[in-house]
Structure 1
């Protein structure tokens, strides 16, 4: 079954342009150097599954015509991945039931704390988002609208994060290492979107060289780099990459097979 993986945001936690910065990337006129916080959507047959609702989610939904959401998968609890959850409110009002959210235990606890007015049984906020929080830990799978989404445990420095495999594709943001057990879950993946923060080393994100090595280990025929900082000038870095690897950009639509 044909589907589209839409890159809603390809930037890092501070976005690009970064506030207060006048570097050549932040002042670039190339639209591919304008990067909202990291997020993606898997779209097929009118269904929309969102991966992460960061602080730019409202803008991303408006930019790319997302007027309905069937489910949200969270990778981890950092602000650039969760703080737009409340923007699901108007979309949730269109549903007869609640939009299911899936997160590991640490992420679920932080969502419940930050958005206490949404999840607390004692909440008197009548216009709170109509969502249901579900725990998804380890290598668990969830079936969403007839499609299996496999959680892929990753390492983001000392923190475990969750990537996701769906059909022949995988989305692996915020990582600098993939455990061997997770590599086995990625066997057969043909298309991968993967963290590549910058050229220099970083303690919790893959850099360009490391991301290329992970793509080779996965064996994907096509790869797109995401979660890129303002040290990545799109035209310059993209030209250096192997033919099967490209830099993602906001609004990129990648064909995938579910």
Structure 2
């Protein structure tokens, strides 16, 4: 499945909703963005695969407003090195992080997007909201459960060391070999504790509850997008890097390399101002 390349399209501002599946967007977006022209595209299986597929060169004409720590100007750690790739990076994930919710609220990204558009009127702008991606803003997760952005300014909630690197490597290998749900069921059967947010959510809620939380997150971010659009001129698109699964074909969230349509089908919505 070939990943849709947003750089081949014409736009002045591209708004990225992290983990936004096509069908959820299609059922909700007209409540907030009734003038948009919606198309279905193919995304990646996760953010870092999307980043590495799309941004293989340098893009001085683009300013990146980032609520997601994978796109940052401060480190080469992690799975995508954004340093030097863009004309500027607004590290909203660094100053706008909410420790209670373990995410960047969409309001912080909106404010930074308005600032970027004002400071760089001659450049194209990508605005990367973390929502509708978990954590869900309508339900606080326990403090011991973290978003794991390994190596990015401590945003994973723990220090990097050889032991943690080895643990991550082993767990990711077993998850891919056994399948995500089977691996989690084995861990649950063995009564192993987890601080990993996806496994925590899978253990705690039903698929219907997860999708309800997810779509609440989508509504929250779409209300911010609606406000942002009022401040923009030119060609604007709203899209995503990947979708999200809630049990379809046995998948949950966005397993690495999956071809599940719930994860791979994303919205591409166009506006002219």
Asked whether the two chains share a fold, i.e. TM above 0.5, the reply is no
Higher share of residues assigned strand:
1
TM-score (norm. length: structure 2): 0.31
TM-score w.r.t. length of structure 1: 0.33
